[in-house]
Structure 1
Amino acid sequence: MTSSGTERTQAIETMIGKVYTTQDYYEVGREKIREFAHALHDDNPVHWDEAKSAEAGHDRLLAPLTIVVLDGTKAQAQLFEMIPGNPLKSGVLQVEQRFIFHKPVTAGDRLKSDVSLDSYKSAAGADLFTGKTVIRDLDKGVMQESWTTLAGPGETGDGLTDEFERMVDDVMFSPTASHVLPLVPAEAAEIPDDEPRAFGAIPFDSLSEGQEIPSRTQRFTRGDLVNYVGVAGDPNPIHHSDELAAAAKLDTVVAQGMLTLGTAAGYLSDFVGDPAAFRELSARFSSAVYVPPTEAAVVEYTAKIKTLYPETKRGLITFGATVNGKRVFGKCTALVQFS
């Protein structure tokens, strides 16, 4: 960790490791699972058909891997608002995302989000924040861990202007804040021992190292971006406002990072057979997916089996995505428990 010695840096450093939690729980609805799967273009029947989900070993409808963003992202935003200078108002960009999956999320689960600032670096006028989120079910315990890394201009860098912030205020959804419950201090949750289950995953013996997974081409339109804004509750106007995108020095509006990554997870789970077989998923965001006003951005997803571990029947998948030959993700991996 790099410390500049400023009061702001010292104040941020004192926050590292302090855990806060949501006061109320988020109940995962069956229809919300289907809405979220639809937003991610994910047709895996375990998200749509309760009988198919039961066949894979789940007692209720299974949620897509990244559905925890619905509540976890809001809790994380509240955490970053507590940081001196509120980096969310400085023009931060998401640069990395990592998940560890302990138990699958299904309809009816009652989730709470524990958030903390995991690390902070400040160098050459730039800030790098990593927030950690632990998702807990009231009855099942820890379900997921995730780490989100954001990069911003820092205290001495070129942040967003007052004029830009006023533009944002005039474009963003204007909800009442009276019902928003503040985060409360909490103790760090105990992370469970690994108890892998393959659920409905394909057989380990059917795979070989170097095996390529059939590619998938996915179109993203402005309608897809706006739909994801509504389903996931992502308020960032650079995903729907040309004026704000231009003011942020972007070519045009951009697809949400978690939309493209969530769709990648669905692409991989179609091959694996059951999303609940995933143990880890991580990606580094290399470049934005620009979506023009009247035509779709076309993303091509590719993947292959990099390494197989016979002693555990696990496999490491590497995957990527490109738009017109330009890489969208970098250093992307998924660890899967095969049957």
Structure 2
Amino acid sequence: MTSGEMTRADEISAMVGEVFTTADYYEVGREKVREFARALHDDNPFHWDEEKSRAGGHDALLAPLTMVAIMGTKSQAQLLEDHIPGNLLKSGVLQVDQSFTFHKPIKAGDKLYCDVNLETYRTVAGADLFTVKTLVREVNRGVLQESWTSLAGPGEDAGRLPDDFDEIVDQVIFSGADSHVDPLVPSSRAEIPVREDRPWTTIPFDELSEGMSLPTRQQRFTRGDVINYIGVSGDPNPIHHSDAVAKAAGLDTVVAQAMLTLGTASGYLTSFVGDPAAFLDMSARFTSPVYIPADAPAVVEYTAKVKSLNPENKTAMITFGASLNGKRVFGRCTATVQFS
């Protein structure tokens, strides 16, 4: 390399903070809200019953907290494939963390744009560690939520994959992924709003106590669940449905989507809280994959407890976790909720 020539890491780092946005909006359909809630095993009535949602102060069905996965994942992939150099999405990328800040709820009828940018990037022992920010804004209501997806990739050394890995993937991956894709366009950072200060339809704050546990929930995940989530969310990654690709990537077998297990966790929490709009933020670290056998379900156990209370503003921090066969699926996970 000659003096002054940029390295791969330099070229990637130079793009940190450059914001791009979707060229057209995504309109949230009422039945899509229900379809996504069904995929997450989320029975919260605010996703299903318009009368109950109106009684809770909303003029339409509310989307599950993680519904940004539908448009956000596609926008992130476009950013990393078309605008960020270095092929950060080369095979072997794993999702490490996911966090959200909720400003206003997403609801049926919203027309959403996604702003995406590479928020951070560094290399550790040759591996790529990077975070992509996705900001969701509605054409009339402004910014609704922000999310940060942290990923780890093999960097310039992907030699652990078999030489025919790309060919294996090509035989099973969805063949229409490149059809009718609008390009991202350059944009600027949106102004973050002041959150609405209003009571939500939750359980009363006075019924909470520090250290109280939420009822444990066991959720079965089958191959049918992960395949259904592929169709609902549009996630094309074949490690979620092909044993051949999963094993070629170094996995034991097909794995559940991280956002499926986290989305189900969010439904577990909102079933206790009541109103999904009361959530201020949520974050999770993914520590081990959820392997899905071909002929039996994987049973994930969700637990949570009230970690701390703030009587002054009636907020609570809830810590939650998930385990499979006694092994932790999530690391430290928290959600901050505004109670009534």
Q: Which range, TM-score by smaller chain?
A: over 0.9
TM-superposed CA distance for 1:88, in Å, is: 1.4
Question: CA offsets, 1:235-260, max 9 Å, x none?
Answer: 00000001111111111100000000
- Tell me the residue number matched to 1:20: 20
TM-superposed CA distance for 1:196, in Å, is: 3.8
TM-superposed CA distance for 1:159, in Å, is: 5.8
**2:191, 2:166 → 1: CA distance?**
40
TM-superposed CA distance for 1:176, in Å, is: 6.1
Give the counterpart letter for 1:172 in structure 2.
Answer: I
**1:178, 1:59 → 2: CA distance?**
34
* Secondary structure in 1 matching 2:63: coil
**1:6, 1:170 → 2: CA distance?**
36
Give the counterpart letter for 2:132 in structure 1.
Answer: G
2:271 equivalent to 1:247:
no
**1:209, 1:179 → 2: CA distance?**
51
TM-score, with length taken from structure 2: 0.96
* Secondary structure in 1 matching 2:224: helix
Matches within 5 A, 1:57-136: 57-81=57-81, 82-136=83-137
**2:286, 2:112 → 1: CA distance?**
27
- Tell me the residue number matched to 2:178: 177
**1:240, 1:76 → 2: CA distance?**
21
- Tell me the residue number matched to 2:210: 209
**1:263, 1:191 → 2: CA distance?**
27
Give the counterpart letter for 1:266 in structure 2.
Answer: G
- Tell me the residue number matched to 1:42: 42
Question: CA offsets, 1:24-67, max 9 Å, x none?
Answer: 00000000000000000001111111001111111011110011
TM-superposed CA distance for 1:178, in Å, is: 4.8
**2:147, 2:96 → 1: CA distance?**
14
Alignment length (residue pairs) = 335
Does the C-alpha gap of structure 1 residues 177 and 245 become closer, same or farther in structure 2, counting only changes over 3 Å? Answer: closer
2:7 equivalent to 1:7:
yes
Question: CA offsets, 1:216-269, max 9 Å, x none?
Answer: 000000000000000000000000001111111111100000000000000000
**2:100, 2:130 → 1: CA distance?**
16
**1:142, 1:309 → 2: CA distance?**
26
Task: Kindly indicate whether the alpha-carbon contact (under 8 Å) linking 2:127 and 2:153 is maintained by their aligned counterparts in 1.
Answer: yes
Matches within 5 A, 1:186-265: 186-265=187-266
* Secondary structure in 2 matching 1:175: coil
TM-superposed CA distance for 1:155, in Å, is: 1.4
Moved more, 178-187 or 10-19: 178-187
Segments of structure 2 that go 5 or more residues without pairing to the other structure are none
**1:283, 1:196 → 2: CA distance?**
26
* Secondary structure in 2 matching 1:205: helix
TM-superposed CA distance for 1:194, in Å, is: 2.7
Task: Kindly indicate whether the alpha-carbon contact (under 8 Å) linking 2:161 and 2:248 is maintained by their aligned counterparts in 1.
Answer: no
- Tell me the residue number matched to 1:158: 159
Percent same amino acid at aligned positions? Answer: 66
* Secondary structure in 2 matching 1:97: strand
**1:62, 1:93 → 2: CA distance?**
30
Task: Kindly indicate whether the alpha-carbon contact (under 8 Å) linking 2:91 and 2:158 is maintained by their aligned counterparts in 1.
Answer: no
Moved more, 78-87 or 146-155: 78-87
* Secondary structure in 2 matching 1:227: helix
TM-superposed CA distance for 1:6, in Å, is: 5.7
Task: Kindly indicate whether the alpha-carbon contact (under 8 Å) linking 1:125 and 1:157 is maintained by their aligned counterparts in 2.
Answer: no
**2:28, 2:156 → 1: CA distance?**
38
**1:156, 1:124 → 2: CA distance?**
10
TM-superposed CA distance for 1:163, in Å, is: 1.3
2:147 equivalent to 1:146:
yes
Task: Kindly indicate whether the alpha-carbon contact (under 8 Å) linking 1:254 and 1:289 is maintained by their aligned counterparts in 2.
Answer: yes
TM-score, with length taken from structure 1: 0.96
Question: CA offsets, 1:112-139, max 9 Å, x none?
Answer: 0000000001021111010000000000
